[in-house]
Amino acid sequence: MRDQARRWVEGLPRGLFADAVVAHALATRDFGVVFAAAKAAGMSFNAIAAATGMKAERVSLVARGAASVTALATVERIADGLRIPGAMVGLATRAWERDADAGNLRCRCECHCRRAA
């Protein structure tokens, strides 16, 4: 299980950022859709939990629509842990994005990070 969690340290699977449903879910902070899409793409709830500092049970509840994410600190942890660019969830540019722009870390989203200059 730890190996699977470690596998996803780089964030959400790349293709999810291009998915219109996921992009809309990110813009509206509907993490239930995001977590469910990540699960469908092969990312376990344990891996999401490990990356975001949430409990796997909470991730599962959010993915099923039985709970939601409303705290800004949690939104920030999700964005940072899953490498979701801040602009996609209504946050400021995240520190890891600035590092990616400086060439220190590869951003995988292929969105505004690649176009920023």
At 64 the pLDDT is 96
Residue 102 has pLDDT above 80, yes or no: no
pLDDT digits over 33-87, tens only? Answer: 999 999 999 999 999 999 999 999 999 999 999 999 999 999 999 999 999 999 9
* Cα–Cα distance, 81 to 75 (Å, whole number): 10
Q: pTM for the complete prediction?
A: 0.78
Tell me the average pLDDT across 20-24.
96
Question: How many other CB atoms are found less than 10 A from the CB of residue 47?
Answer: 25
d(CA 83, CA 51): 9
Question: Is the model's pLDDT at 113 over the cut of 50?
Answer: no
